[in-house]
Each structure stands twice: as structure tokens, then as C-alpha cells.
Amino acid sequence: MSSEPPSAVADLEAAGREMHGWIAGLYPICRSITGEGLRTTLRAIQANIPLEIREVPSGQRVLDWTVPDEWNIRDAWVANRAGRRVIDFRRSNLHVVSYSVPVRRRVSLTELKKHLFTLPEHPDWIPYRTSYYEPTWGFCASQRVALSLSEPEYDVVIDSTLAPGSLSYGEWLLPGAIGEEVLISCHVCHPSLANDNLSGIAVATRLARALAAAPRRYSYRFLFLPGTIGSITWLALNAALIGRIRHGLVVACVGDPGPLRYKKSRRGDAEIDRAASHVLTSSGRPHELLDFSPYGYDERQYCSPGFDLPVGSLTRTPHGRYPEYHTSADDLGLVRPESLADSLDAYLRVVQVLEGNGRYLNTSPRGEPQLGRRGLYRAMGGMPDPGLAQMAMLWVLNWSDGKHDLLEIAEKASLPFEAVRSAAEALEKSGLLLPAPEPSPASAVS
């Protein structure tokens, strides 16, 4: 096992500002689950990390699904009699229902309204809507704009194409000392929505760079995929790799000012669940631990019962729990540099726990070993409190019976993981601790 935790990001504040700036550049691109906007975004990630971009042809069967035709859009508008664009894709790509079929005709106001989506409770916001698997067309607009439409007819144009092509996704395997993998998965299919999920793209990319800069025990697989169909495609095409996944996190909505939230894997007590819970709980700051539910991001696929992978999701305010969710108000103002930095820090801390965790065997388990003659215990006795470092050593020695990992010991002892891990390192150096045999990956995953 590597004894060095991955180095944290030296200047978190600068990293937060850098991520926010990068998000601002990606914000205007019209992404969807396929198409050029998605490819452009993957290439932007590639400028930061050596991502491989995969293309899976339309029509390919992937598990219960089929890769859809590729969608591209050049322009779209609703124009009045005077030719003025009253709804204009060039002003916001949310104005067009994603995957709208091409249309170019004059329609009555009545018919237009059947294809027009608004948010009456937020009259200035444009909703985000999709129709990936049902061929139709539609526009989204603010309630204020919709109410201002008063002419009997409008010209509607959606200059889109929906045709065989391919689904694109990005993948990078950052190799570690062992072949077992940590999966970091991030959806990249949303157009101009900043928190959902440009924030996730930025944090995952920055995390990849940080992990690449330090020794690693685990290998890390980064996936940048369109939601649902992307993870289903990856799972369908990579059956041989799935058994390597020891831990996983789905990265989403990590830029808003809300507290951190960890949604557990379906297993509920996987090591990733314990690691993320420990990081959030020991932070001493407000946070929330949520049981698995089969709704949300791509953990729905990784945690489907036929896979049941140990994949949780570490977010700030997740889907459907902030009013700006899936609206034009999920913009660059909702995402804060300091929230991005704090999320990155939490991901790094979880990784540190995963990297440093392990089960050990006390080589002197009968009675306490005499720490003093090994220089591990202060000479003067009688004081009421042995100090944090010595308490951590006593806890590690007492529970290193090969059955309890350091994370469990930290929880039992109410000590920070790093204190317990440092104690284990000191004890290992002195010969009082040996790594316990690892359980086989098969049994760990089963």
C-alpha cells in the first residue's frame, strides 16, 4: 500500500476561482445527450486531462436501450408577423426542447402554446425540457414572454437534425499501484445549466489533475457521460471492467452554496459510504447523509440490482431540491468559487480515506506491547490524558485483529481518520502492525 496520501490541492481558493472561470467558458455551449455540443465539451476537458473520447454508433443496443440518433441544432426561433424573434435560441439554448425534431412553419398561437413550456411560479425563468425518446418539437420560455404573445400566428423554426451518428463520452484511466478502481462519473449532457452539471465537470476534472500529481494505491477511472444513456452504454460495453470497481462516486451539483450531501450506495454500508460519511461527519459542518433511492443521477444505473456497485453520490444541493434546478436560473451566479473549492476538498478527503484505509494485524496482540521502549510512548507517566497520537495507537492496536479497517477504528475512537492512519504508519514501522490479507476483489464486490 502506498503510505502517502494524495497531495491536497495547495491553494484551494485559487482552484475555486479557476474552476469558476472555466465553467463560464463552457456555459454557452448547447450540450445534449449526443451531438457537437457534447463533443466540444469533451474536447475542453481534454485540454486539461488526457481524456479519450469514445464514439458509439446510433442504433447500437446497450442493455435494455438503443443508442439514439445524433441531434444537432444550428438555430431556432419563434418570430412574429413582423419577423421579430420573440423566442430566440441564440439568446438561450434552453429555449428549445432538447432533441426537438426540425420544424419550419407558421402555426396558430393555439398550436404554438401546445408546444410551449413555461414556469408560472417563476415568471422570469426559462424551464429546461427534453424529449429524447419521443419525436416532437417544443420551445421553452419565461411565463412573461409567453403571456406577451398575442398575435394570431407565429413562424416557428427549429433548424435541427436528428440522424444516425454517434453518442460521445470521455474516459480516462489514471493507473495506480493496484488494478482495483475508483470510479468517478459525471454527466455532461445539459446545456446552459451551471450547477447541473458544469460544476461537476469542473470538480471532476480538477480532481483528476490533483490525483495525477501524486502516487496512488488505486487506479481511478473518470467518466464524462451523457446522463442515463451514457452510463448504460459504458456498463454495456465494459462488462469485463466492472468487477474492478471497488468504490465510486457520481459528481453532480457541487457548485451551489448549500451544504454537502452524500447519498449512499444501494448497499448502504460500502466502504465508500463509510468513507464519505466520515469525511462529512468529522468536518463538524452542516451536512446531510441520505439513504440510497433509485432516483437521481447515474448512480441509478451503477446501483441497479444486476450491478449493485458500491457507488454513491457526493453533491451539494441535488436534483429537484433547489428552485433553480433545471431552469435558466441555474446560471453562473448560482455557482460559487468557494463552493467549488469546498467540494473539491471534500472529494480529496474522501480519496485520502480510501487510499489510506486498510485492515491490519497487531503482531503483539496479547497484552499491550510496550510502546515506551520503542519510542512510541512518552516516558513520564501519571498524567490524566495520553494525548491524541498515543490514544490513536492504542485504538489501532486494540482493533487490528484483521477484521476492522482503520476507518472503523476511527469511528469507534471518534478520532479523525488521519490520526488513526498516522498511528498505523508508526506502528507498522516499528513492526507492531502488519497489513492483513486483503479480501479478494470478487468477495468485496459481491
Find, among 84, 85, 406, 389, the residue nearest to 274 by Cα.
406
C-alpha cell belonging to residue 399: 482493533
The yes or no reply on residue 129 touching its own copies (CB under 8 A) is yes
Report the DSSP pairing between strands 70-79 and 139-140. Answer: unpaired
Closest contact distance (angstroms) between CB of 364 and its own copies is 5
The yes or no reply on residue 367 touching its own copies (CB under 8 A) is yes
Can you tell me which of 168, 195, 301, 357 binds its own copies, judged by CB under 8 A? Answer: 301
Closest contact distance (angstroms) between CB of 269 and its own copies is 15
Nearer to its own copies, 347 or 360 (CB): 360
Segment interacting with its own copies, rule: CB under 8 A, options 1-9, 23-31, 153-161, 378-386 = 378-386
Segment interacting with its own copies, rule: CB under 8 A, options 147-155, 224-232, 247-255, 278-286 = 224-232
Q: Where are the alpha helices (DSSP H) in 239-365?
A: 239-242, 271-282, 299-302, 337-356
The yes or no reply on residue 120 touching its own copies (CB under 8 A) is no
Cα 8 from Cα 20, distance rounded (Å): 19
Cα 121 from Cα 111, distance rounded (Å): 23
Closest contact distance (angstroms) between CB of 400 and its own copies is 7
C-alpha cell belonging to residue 390: 498515543
- The site string for its own copies over 226-265 (x = CB under 8 A, - otherwise) reads --x--xx--xx-----------------------------
**Crossing angle between the packed helical segments 36-46 and 199-212, to the nearest 10 degrees:** 30
The sign one gets for the Cα dihedral 55, 60, 65, 67 is: positive
Closest contact distance (angstroms) between CB of 435 and its own copies is 16
Can you tell me which of 71, 128, 220, 262 binds its own copies, judged by CB under 8 A? Answer: 128
C-alpha cell belonging to residue 201: 465537470
Residues 213 and 251 sit within 8 Å (Cβ to Cβ):
no
The yes or no reply on residue 269 touching its own copies (CB under 8 A) is no
Nearer to its own copies, 83 or 367 (CB): 367
Segment interacting with its own copies, rule: CB under 8 A, options 174-182, 212-220, 244-252, 362-370 = 362-370
The yes or no reply on residue 437 touching its own copies (CB under 8 A) is no
Nearer to its own copies, 97 or 354 (CB): 97
Name the amino acid, one letter, at 109. L
Cα 133 from Cα 154, distance rounded (Å): 27
Closest contact distance (angstroms) between CB of 118 and its own copies is 13
Can you tell me which of 10, 82, 380, 442 binds its own copies, judged by CB under 8 A? Answer: 380
The sign one gets for the Cα dihedral 393, 399, 403, 407 is: negative
The yes or no reply on residue 46 touching its own copies (CB under 8 A) is no
The yes or no reply on residue 157 touching its own copies (CB under 8 A) is no
Cα 198 from Cα 191, distance rounded (Å): 9
Cα 204 from Cα 381, distance rounded (Å): 49
Cα 242 from Cα 388, distance rounded (Å): 40
* In 9-131, beta strands by DSSP E: 52-57, 61-62, 65-66, 70-79, 85-88, 103-108, 116-117
Residues that bind its own copies (rule: CB under 8 A) add up to a total of: 63
Binding stretches for its own copies (CB under 8 A): 63-65, 97-98, 127-134, 136, 228, 231-232, 235-236, 266, 291, 293-295, 300-301, 303-307, 319-320, 325-326, 362, 364-370, 372-373, 379-386, 391, 394-395, 397-401, 412-413
